[in-house]
Structure 1
Protein backbone atom coordinates (compact mmCIF):
# COMPACT_ATOMS: atom_id res chain seq x y z
CA UNK A 1 0.00 0.00 0.00
CA UNK A 2 2.91 2.35 0.73
CA UNK A 3 4.25 1.69 -2.76
CA UNK A 4 0.85 2.45 -4.30
CA UNK A 5 0.49 5.62 -2.22
CA UNK A 6 3.92 6.79 -3.33
CA UNK A 7 3.03 6.08 -6.96
CA UNK A 8 -0.20 8.06 -6.66
CA UNK A 9 1.69 10.98 -5.15
CA UNK A 10 4.28 10.81 -7.92
CA UNK A 11 1.59 10.70 -10.63
CA UNK A 12 -0.12 13.79 -9.21
CA UNK A 13 3.20 15.63 -9.26
CA UNK A 14 3.90 14.43 -12.82
CA UNK A 15 0.48 15.56 -14.04
CA UNK A 16 0.82 18.92 -12.32
CA UNK A 17 4.34 19.45 -13.67
CA UNK A 18 3.23 18.67 -17.22
CA UNK A 19 0.34 21.12 -17.09
CA UNK A 20 -2.57 18.70 -16.85
CA UNK A 21 -4.15 20.61 -13.97
CA UNK A 22 -3.74 23.90 -15.82
CA UNK A 23 -5.30 22.38 -18.94
CA UNK A 24 -8.21 21.03 -16.91
CA UNK A 25 -8.75 24.41 -15.25
CA UNK A 26 -8.64 26.10 -18.65
CA UNK A 27 -11.28 23.73 -20.05
CA UNK A 28 -13.48 24.30 -16.99
CA UNK A 29 -13.21 28.09 -17.26
CA UNK A 30 -13.93 28.13 -21.00
CA UNK A 31 -16.88 25.74 -20.51
CA UNK A 32 -18.37 27.92 -17.77
CA UNK A 33 -17.88 31.11 -19.79
CA UNK A 34 -19.56 29.65 -22.87
CA UNK A 35 -22.44 28.05 -20.96
CA UNK A 36 -22.93 31.25 -19.00
CA UNK A 37 -24.02 32.91 -22.24
CA UNK A 38 -27.12 30.69 -22.28
CA UNK A 39 -28.80 31.17 -18.88
CA UNK A 40 -32.15 29.82 -20.10
CA UNK A 41 -30.77 26.54 -21.42
CA UNK A 42 -31.94 23.28 -19.87
CA UNK A 43 -28.59 22.41 -18.31
CA UNK A 44 -30.05 19.43 -16.48
CA UNK A 45 -30.53 17.90 -19.92
CA UNK A 46 -27.39 19.18 -21.67
CA UNK A 47 -24.73 18.97 -18.93
CA UNK A 48 -24.44 15.15 -18.87
CA UNK A 49 -23.26 15.21 -22.49
CA UNK A 50 -20.80 18.06 -21.90
CA UNK A 51 -19.40 16.29 -18.84
CA UNK A 52 -19.18 13.01 -20.78
CA UNK A 53 -16.97 14.63 -23.42
CA UNK A 54 -14.89 16.52 -20.84
CA UNK A 55 -14.27 13.29 -18.95
CA UNK A 56 -13.24 11.63 -22.21
CA UNK A 57 -10.55 14.27 -22.68
CA UNK A 58 -9.44 14.23 -19.03
CA UNK A 59 -8.99 10.48 -18.90
CA UNK A 60 -8.63 8.81 -22.31
CA UNK A 61 -6.43 11.50 -23.85
CA UNK A 62 -4.64 12.49 -20.66
CA UNK A 63 -3.59 8.91 -19.87
CA UNK A 64 -2.57 8.50 -23.50
CA UNK A 65 -0.40 11.60 -23.22
CA UNK A 66 1.16 10.33 -20.01
CA UNK A 67 1.94 6.92 -21.49
CA UNK A 68 3.50 8.42 -24.62
CA UNK A 69 5.51 10.79 -22.42
CA UNK A 70 6.72 7.94 -20.21
CA UNK A 71 7.59 5.86 -23.26
CA UNK A 72 9.55 8.73 -24.77
CA UNK A 73 11.51 9.21 -21.54
CA UNK A 74 12.03 5.47 -21.09
CA UNK A 75 10.20 5.60 -17.75
CA UNK A 76 7.54 3.06 -18.66
CA UNK A 77 10.02 0.44 -19.80
CA UNK A 78 12.04 1.12 -16.65
CA UNK A 79 9.06 0.13 -14.52
CA UNK A 80 9.47 -3.43 -15.72
CA UNK A 81 12.56 -3.92 -13.55
CA UNK A 82 11.10 -2.18 -10.47
CA UNK A 83 9.00 -3.79 -7.73
CA UNK A 84 5.97 -1.78 -8.91
CA UNK A 85 3.27 -4.14 -10.13
CA UNK A 86 1.23 -3.57 -13.28
CA UNK A 87 -2.02 -3.28 -11.33
CA UNK A 88 -0.48 -0.64 -9.05
CA UNK A 89 0.60 1.41 -12.06
CA UNK A 90 -2.90 1.24 -13.55
CA UNK A 91 -4.71 1.96 -10.27
CA UNK A 92 -2.51 4.99 -9.68
CA UNK A 93 -3.35 6.39 -13.11
CA UNK A 94 -7.07 5.77 -12.61
CA UNK A 95 -7.14 7.33 -9.13
CA UNK A 96 -5.19 10.45 -10.06
CA UNK A 97 -7.02 11.15 -13.32
CA UNK A 98 -10.37 10.48 -11.64
CA UNK A 99 -9.49 12.98 -8.91
CA UNK A 100 -8.60 15.59 -11.52
CA UNK A 101 -11.80 14.89 -13.46
CA UNK A 102 -14.00 15.08 -10.36
CA UNK A 103 -12.55 18.48 -9.49
CA UNK A 104 -13.22 19.82 -12.99
CA UNK A 105 -16.68 18.26 -13.24
CA UNK A 106 -17.75 19.57 -9.85
CA UNK A 107 -16.52 23.07 -10.65
CA UNK A 108 -18.50 23.20 -13.90
CA UNK A 109 -21.58 21.51 -12.46
CA UNK A 110 -21.87 23.58 -9.29
CA UNK A 111 -21.36 26.89 -11.10
CA UNK A 112 -23.79 26.15 -13.93
CA UNK A 113 -26.34 23.83 -12.31
CA UNK A 114 -25.98 24.29 -8.57
CA UNK A 115 -26.16 21.81 -5.71
CA UNK A 116 -29.49 20.18 -6.60
CA UNK A 117 -27.94 16.94 -7.79
CA UNK A 118 -28.59 13.33 -7.07
CA UNK A 119 -25.09 13.03 -5.65
CA UNK A 120 -24.93 9.24 -5.52
CA UNK A 121 -25.68 8.63 -9.19
CA UNK A 122 -23.69 11.69 -10.25
CA UNK A 123 -20.50 10.58 -8.49
CA UNK A 124 -20.97 6.95 -9.52
CA UNK A 125 -21.34 8.06 -13.13
CA UNK A 126 -18.24 10.26 -13.00
CA UNK A 127 -16.06 7.65 -11.27
CA UNK A 128 -17.09 4.73 -13.50
CA UNK A 129 -16.74 6.85 -16.64
CA UNK A 130 -13.26 7.96 -15.58
CA UNK A 131 -12.12 4.43 -14.77
CA UNK A 132 -13.44 3.04 -18.05
CA UNK A 133 -12.10 5.86 -20.21
CA UNK A 134 -8.68 5.63 -18.54
CA UNK A 135 -8.48 1.86 -18.99
CA UNK A 136 -9.67 2.04 -22.59
CA UNK A 137 -7.11 4.79 -23.13
CA UNK A 138 -4.21 2.80 -21.72
CA UNK A 139 -5.17 -0.37 -23.59
CA UNK A 140 -5.37 1.63 -26.81
CA UNK A 141 -2.26 3.81 -26.52
CA UNK A 142 0.01 1.01 -25.26
CA UNK A 143 0.55 -0.20 -28.83
CA UNK A 144 1.79 3.20 -30.04
CA UNK A 145 5.15 4.89 -29.57
CA UNK A 146 4.39 8.29 -31.09
CA UNK A 147 1.60 10.85 -31.16
CA UNK A 148 1.61 10.84 -34.98
CA UNK A 149 0.62 7.19 -35.27
CA UNK A 150 -1.77 7.40 -32.32
CA UNK A 151 -3.84 10.50 -32.99
CA UNK A 152 -6.04 9.63 -35.98
CA UNK A 153 -6.95 6.10 -34.82
CA UNK A 154 -7.70 7.57 -31.38
CA UNK A 155 -10.15 10.10 -32.83
CA UNK A 156 -11.98 7.33 -34.70
CA UNK A 157 -11.99 5.09 -31.63
CA UNK A 158 -13.26 7.75 -29.22
CA UNK A 159 -16.02 8.65 -31.68
CA UNK A 160 -17.25 5.07 -31.33
CA UNK A 161 -17.00 5.33 -27.55
CA UNK A 162 -19.24 8.42 -27.68
CA UNK A 163 -22.13 6.68 -29.45
CA UNK A 164 -24.36 6.75 -26.32
CA UNK A 165 -24.73 10.49 -26.93
CA UNK A 166 -26.75 9.67 -30.07
CA UNK A 167 -29.11 7.56 -27.98
CA UNK A 168 -29.24 10.21 -25.24
CA UNK A 169 -30.52 12.83 -27.70
CA UNK A 170 -32.90 10.25 -29.23
CA UNK A 171 -31.27 10.64 -32.64
CA UNK A 172 -31.15 6.87 -32.96
CA UNK A 173 -32.80 4.66 -30.38
CA UNK A 174 -32.22 0.92 -30.32
CA UNK A 175 -32.01 -1.78 -27.63
CA UNK A 176 -28.60 -2.60 -29.11
CA UNK A 177 -27.23 0.52 -27.44
CA UNK A 178 -27.73 -1.13 -24.04
CA UNK A 179 -24.77 -3.36 -24.91
CA UNK A 180 -22.47 -0.39 -25.50
CA UNK A 181 -19.88 -0.16 -22.69
CA UNK A 182 -20.56 3.51 -22.00
CA UNK A 183 -24.35 3.39 -22.05
CA UNK A 184 -24.36 2.36 -18.37
CA UNK A 185 -22.22 5.18 -16.93
CA UNK A 186 -23.97 7.65 -19.26
CA UNK A 187 -27.27 6.66 -17.63
CA UNK A 188 -25.75 7.19 -14.19
CA UNK A 189 -24.48 10.61 -15.18
CA UNK A 190 -27.93 11.45 -16.51
CA UNK A 191 -29.37 10.27 -13.20
CA UNK A 192 -27.36 12.92 -11.41
CA UNK A 193 -29.53 15.59 -13.06
CA UNK A 194 -32.77 13.81 -13.96
CA UNK A 195 -34.87 11.04 -12.40
CA UNK A 196 -34.07 7.57 -13.72
CA UNK A 197 -35.84 4.29 -13.10
CA UNK A 198 -34.63 1.77 -10.53
CA UNK A 199 -33.67 -0.77 -13.20
CA UNK A 200 -31.58 1.88 -14.96
CA UNK A 201 -29.69 2.58 -11.74
CA UNK A 202 -29.03 -1.14 -11.16
CA UNK A 203 -28.05 -1.66 -14.80
CA UNK A 204 -25.80 1.38 -14.73
CA UNK A 205 -23.90 0.24 -11.65
CA UNK A 206 -23.62 -3.48 -12.44
CA UNK A 207 -22.84 -3.16 -16.15
CA UNK A 208 -20.40 -0.34 -15.47
CA UNK A 209 -18.56 -2.33 -12.80
CA UNK A 210 -18.41 -5.43 -15.02
CA UNK A 211 -16.92 -3.42 -17.88
CA UNK A 212 -14.44 -1.75 -15.54
CA UNK A 213 -13.24 -5.18 -14.38
CA UNK A 214 -12.99 -6.46 -17.96
CA UNK A 215 -11.05 -3.38 -19.05
CA UNK A 216 -8.70 -3.67 -16.09
CA UNK A 217 -7.79 -7.22 -17.13
CA UNK A 218 -7.47 -6.08 -20.75
CA UNK A 219 -5.15 -3.21 -19.76
CA UNK A 220 -2.89 -5.49 -17.72
CA UNK A 221 -2.55 -7.79 -20.72
CA UNK A 222 -1.91 -4.82 -23.01
CA UNK A 223 0.85 -3.71 -20.63
CA UNK A 224 2.47 -7.14 -20.80
CA UNK A 225 2.15 -7.48 -24.57
CA UNK A 226 3.02 -3.98 -25.76
CA UNK A 227 5.30 -2.71 -23.00
CA UNK A 228 7.02 -5.80 -21.64
CA UNK A 229 7.16 -7.98 -24.77
CA UNK A 230 6.89 -5.10 -27.29
CA UNK A 231 4.75 -7.18 -29.64
CA UNK A 232 2.97 -5.28 -32.41
CA UNK A 233 4.11 -1.83 -31.26
CA UNK A 234 3.54 0.86 -33.92
Structure 2
Protein backbone atom coordinates (compact mmCIF):
# COMPACT_ATOMS: atom_id res chain seq x y z
CA UNK A 1 0.00 0.00 0.00
CA UNK A 2 2.87 2.37 0.73
CA UNK A 3 4.27 1.75 -2.74
CA UNK A 4 0.85 2.32 -4.34
CA UNK A 5 0.49 5.60 -2.46
CA UNK A 6 3.96 6.72 -3.54
CA UNK A 7 3.24 5.89 -7.18
CA UNK A 8 -0.06 7.80 -7.15
CA UNK A 9 1.67 10.73 -5.44
CA UNK A 10 4.43 10.78 -8.06
CA UNK A 11 1.88 10.63 -10.90
CA UNK A 12 -0.06 13.55 -9.39
CA UNK A 13 3.15 15.54 -9.02
CA UNK A 14 4.22 14.82 -12.60
CA UNK A 15 0.77 15.79 -13.89
CA UNK A 16 0.72 18.96 -11.78
CA UNK A 17 4.07 20.14 -13.11
CA UNK A 18 3.12 19.55 -16.71
CA UNK A 19 5.07 16.41 -17.58
CA UNK A 20 2.02 14.74 -19.12
CA UNK A 21 1.07 17.88 -21.07
CA UNK A 22 4.63 18.29 -22.34
CA UNK A 23 4.90 14.70 -23.49
CA UNK A 24 1.47 14.82 -25.10
CA UNK A 25 2.82 17.66 -27.23
CA UNK A 26 6.07 15.78 -27.97
CA UNK A 27 4.12 12.66 -28.93
CA UNK A 28 1.88 14.59 -31.32
CA UNK A 29 4.92 16.20 -32.95
CA UNK A 30 6.67 12.83 -33.27
CA UNK A 31 3.58 11.24 -34.85
CA UNK A 32 3.19 14.14 -37.30
CA UNK A 33 6.84 13.89 -38.35
CA UNK A 34 6.60 10.13 -38.85
CA UNK A 35 3.43 10.37 -40.93
CA UNK A 36 5.10 12.66 -43.48
CA UNK A 37 8.43 10.83 -43.69
CA UNK A 38 9.10 8.66 -46.75
CA UNK A 39 8.91 4.92 -46.09
CA UNK A 40 12.69 4.21 -46.32
CA UNK A 41 13.27 6.58 -43.38
CA UNK A 42 10.18 5.73 -41.38
CA UNK A 43 11.25 2.42 -39.80
CA UNK A 44 14.58 3.72 -38.47
CA UNK A 45 13.11 7.02 -37.27
CA UNK A 46 10.18 5.32 -35.54
CA UNK A 47 12.47 3.14 -33.42
CA UNK A 48 14.79 6.08 -32.72
CA UNK A 49 11.95 8.37 -31.58
CA UNK A 50 10.39 5.67 -29.41
CA UNK A 51 13.82 4.99 -27.89
CA UNK A 52 14.31 8.71 -27.17
CA UNK A 53 11.32 8.73 -24.81
CA UNK A 54 12.83 6.63 -22.00
CA UNK A 55 16.18 8.41 -22.38
CA UNK A 56 14.83 11.95 -22.22
CA UNK A 57 12.15 11.25 -19.61
CA UNK A 58 14.37 9.07 -17.45
CA UNK A 59 17.36 11.41 -17.44
CA UNK A 60 15.99 14.92 -17.91
CA UNK A 61 12.70 14.58 -16.03
CA UNK A 62 14.30 12.62 -13.23
CA UNK A 63 16.97 15.27 -12.73
CA UNK A 64 14.32 17.99 -12.61
CA UNK A 65 12.20 15.98 -10.16
CA UNK A 66 15.15 15.40 -7.81
CA UNK A 67 16.13 19.09 -7.94
CA UNK A 68 12.57 19.99 -6.96
CA UNK A 69 12.48 17.42 -4.16
CA UNK A 70 15.80 18.62 -2.80
CA UNK A 71 14.50 22.20 -2.70
CA UNK A 72 11.39 20.99 -0.84
CA UNK A 73 13.50 18.98 1.69
CA UNK A 74 11.83 15.73 0.60
CA UNK A 75 14.99 13.70 1.19
CA UNK A 76 15.25 14.79 4.81
CA UNK A 77 11.59 13.88 5.33
CA UNK A 78 12.19 10.52 3.66
CA UNK A 79 15.07 9.82 6.06
CA UNK A 80 12.75 9.91 9.10
CA UNK A 81 9.75 8.26 7.42
CA UNK A 82 8.89 4.52 7.31
CA UNK A 83 9.20 4.63 3.51
CA UNK A 84 12.13 2.53 2.30
CA UNK A 85 14.71 3.59 -0.26
CA UNK A 86 13.58 0.69 -2.45
CA UNK A 87 9.93 1.86 -2.42
CA UNK A 88 11.01 5.42 -3.26
CA UNK A 89 13.07 4.25 -6.25
CA UNK A 90 10.46 1.77 -7.52
CA UNK A 91 7.80 4.49 -7.36
CA UNK A 92 9.92 6.75 -9.57
CA UNK A 93 10.69 3.92 -12.02
CA UNK A 94 7.05 2.87 -12.36
CA UNK A 95 5.54 6.37 -12.61
CA UNK A 96 8.11 7.57 -15.17
CA UNK A 97 7.77 4.27 -17.03
CA UNK A 98 4.05 4.91 -17.44
CA UNK A 99 4.70 8.16 -19.35
CA UNK A 100 7.30 6.45 -21.56
CA UNK A 101 5.00 3.52 -22.26
CA UNK A 102 1.98 5.65 -23.17
CA UNK A 103 4.04 7.87 -25.46
CA UNK A 104 5.97 5.02 -27.10
CA UNK A 105 2.92 2.86 -27.81
CA UNK A 106 0.97 5.81 -29.27
CA UNK A 107 3.90 6.68 -31.55
CA UNK A 108 4.09 3.06 -32.71
CA UNK A 109 0.33 2.79 -33.29
CA UNK A 110 0.12 5.94 -35.42
CA UNK A 111 3.45 5.57 -37.22
CA UNK A 112 1.99 3.46 -40.00
CA UNK A 113 4.56 0.72 -39.37
CA UNK A 114 4.11 -2.84 -38.12
CA UNK A 115 5.70 -3.60 -34.77
CA UNK A 116 6.24 -6.54 -32.45
CA UNK A 117 4.46 -4.96 -29.49
CA UNK A 118 5.77 -7.53 -27.02
CA UNK A 119 9.33 -6.56 -27.88
CA UNK A 120 8.45 -2.88 -28.09
CA UNK A 121 6.73 -2.70 -24.69
CA UNK A 122 9.50 -4.75 -23.06
CA UNK A 123 12.14 -2.46 -24.56
CA UNK A 124 10.33 0.71 -23.49
CA UNK A 125 9.87 -0.47 -19.90
CA UNK A 126 13.45 -1.75 -19.55
CA UNK A 127 14.82 1.41 -21.17
CA UNK A 128 12.70 3.65 -18.98
CA UNK A 129 13.76 1.74 -15.86
CA UNK A 130 17.43 1.90 -16.82
CA UNK A 131 17.57 5.61 -17.61
CA UNK A 132 15.40 6.56 -14.64
CA UNK A 133 17.87 4.69 -12.44
CA UNK A 134 20.75 6.50 -14.16
CA UNK A 135 18.97 9.80 -13.50
CA UNK A 136 18.52 8.94 -9.81
CA UNK A 137 22.14 7.77 -9.53
CA UNK A 138 23.45 11.05 -10.95
CA UNK A 139 21.12 13.17 -8.85
CA UNK A 140 23.33 12.84 -5.80
CA UNK A 141 25.74 15.17 -7.62
CA UNK A 142 23.09 17.73 -8.64
CA UNK A 143 22.36 20.77 -6.50
CA UNK A 144 21.80 23.51 -9.10
CA UNK A 145 20.62 23.80 -12.69
CA UNK A 146 24.25 24.30 -13.79
CA UNK A 147 25.23 20.99 -12.15
CA UNK A 148 22.23 19.43 -13.84
CA UNK A 149 23.36 20.52 -17.32
CA UNK A 150 27.03 19.66 -16.73
CA UNK A 151 26.14 16.11 -15.76
CA UNK A 152 23.12 15.33 -17.94
CA UNK A 153 24.40 16.61 -21.30
CA UNK A 154 27.54 14.39 -21.37
CA UNK A 155 25.41 11.49 -20.12
CA UNK A 156 22.97 11.98 -22.99
CA UNK A 157 25.83 12.05 -25.49
CA UNK A 158 27.34 8.84 -24.08
CA UNK A 159 23.89 7.22 -24.14
CA UNK A 160 22.93 8.21 -27.69
CA UNK A 161 26.16 8.67 -29.72
CA UNK A 162 26.93 4.93 -30.18
CA UNK A 163 23.56 4.48 -31.87
CA UNK A 164 24.69 6.67 -34.78
CA UNK A 165 27.76 4.48 -35.31
CA UNK A 166 25.66 1.32 -35.08
CA UNK A 167 22.99 2.47 -37.53
CA UNK A 168 25.67 3.54 -40.02
CA UNK A 169 26.71 -0.08 -40.39
CA UNK A 170 29.29 -0.79 -37.70
CA UNK A 171 27.39 -3.63 -36.07
CA UNK A 172 30.02 -5.41 -34.02
CA UNK A 173 28.59 -7.86 -31.50
CA UNK A 174 30.58 -6.12 -28.78
CA UNK A 175 28.42 -3.03 -29.27
CA UNK A 176 25.46 -4.98 -27.89
CA UNK A 177 27.09 -4.54 -24.49
CA UNK A 178 26.12 -0.87 -24.72
CA UNK A 179 22.61 -0.68 -23.22
CA UNK A 180 21.26 1.77 -25.82
CA UNK A 181 22.25 -0.53 -28.69
CA UNK A 182 20.65 -3.52 -26.99
CA UNK A 183 17.47 -1.54 -26.35
CA UNK A 184 17.23 -0.40 -29.96
CA UNK A 185 17.62 -4.00 -31.11
CA UNK A 186 15.01 -5.20 -28.63
CA UNK A 187 12.47 -2.55 -29.67
CA UNK A 188 13.04 -3.47 -33.31
CA UNK A 189 12.31 -7.13 -32.51
CA UNK A 190 15.90 -8.30 -32.98
CA UNK A 191 16.50 -9.76 -29.54
CA UNK A 192 19.37 -12.00 -28.53
CA UNK A 193 20.40 -13.55 -25.23
CA UNK A 194 23.51 -11.35 -25.17
CA UNK A 195 21.62 -8.08 -25.61
CA UNK A 196 18.90 -9.03 -23.12
CA UNK A 197 21.48 -10.04 -20.50
CA UNK A 198 23.37 -6.78 -21.10
CA UNK A 199 20.23 -4.74 -20.40
CA UNK A 200 19.38 -6.71 -17.26
CA UNK A 201 22.93 -6.42 -15.88
CA UNK A 202 22.95 -2.66 -16.54
CA UNK A 203 19.59 -2.30 -14.79
CA UNK A 204 20.79 -4.23 -11.74
CA UNK A 205 24.01 -2.20 -11.57
CA UNK A 206 22.19 1.12 -11.85
CA UNK A 207 19.63 0.03 -9.24
CA UNK A 208 22.47 -0.55 -6.78
CA UNK A 209 23.99 2.85 -7.61
CA UNK A 210 20.62 4.57 -7.30
CA UNK A 211 20.11 3.07 -3.83
CA UNK A 212 23.50 4.42 -2.77
CA UNK A 213 22.68 7.83 -4.26
CA UNK A 214 19.34 8.12 -2.46
CA UNK A 215 20.94 7.09 0.84
CA UNK A 216 23.61 9.76 0.28
CA UNK A 217 21.00 12.43 -0.44
CA UNK A 218 19.08 11.45 2.70
CA UNK A 219 22.12 12.19 4.87
CA UNK A 220 22.90 15.63 3.36
Normalised by the shorter chain, which TM-score bucket? over 0.9
Asked if 1:78 is matched to 2:77, the reply is yes
Deviation at 1:124, TM superposition (A): 1.1
Distance in 1 between residues matched to 2:151 and 2:172, nearest whole Å: 26
Deviations 1:55-77 (A, max 9, x none): 21122111111111111111222
Instruction: Say which of 192, 206, 210 aligns to 1:201.
Output: 192
Residue 164 of structure 1 contacts residue 186 of structure 1 at CA under 8 Å; is this kept in 2? no
The 1:203–1:8 alpha-carbon spacing in structure 2 relative to 1, beyond 3 Å, is same
TM-score, L = length of structure 2: 0.92
Instruction: Say which of 196, 210, 213 aligns to 1:222.
Output: 213
Partner residue, 1:57: 56
Distance in 2 between residues matched to 1:51 and 1:58, nearest whole Å: 11
Deviation at 1:210, TM superposition (A): 1.7
Name structure 2 gaps, 5 residues minimum: none
Deviation at 1:164, TM superposition (A): 3.5
The 1:98–1:155 alpha-carbon spacing in structure 2 relative to 1, beyond 3 Å, is same
Name structure 1 gaps, 5 residues minimum: none
Residue 48 of structure 1 contacts residue 189 of structure 1 at CA under 8 Å; is this kept in 2? yes
CA RMSD of aligned residues (A): 1.7
- Which structure has greater helix proportion? 2
Deviation at 1:185, TM superposition (A): 1.7
Deviation at 1:222, TM superposition (A): 1.3
Residue correspondences, number: 220
Runs of 4 or more off by more than 3 Å in structure 1? 39-42, 171-176
Distance in 1 between residues matched to 2:39 and 2:178, nearest whole Å: 32
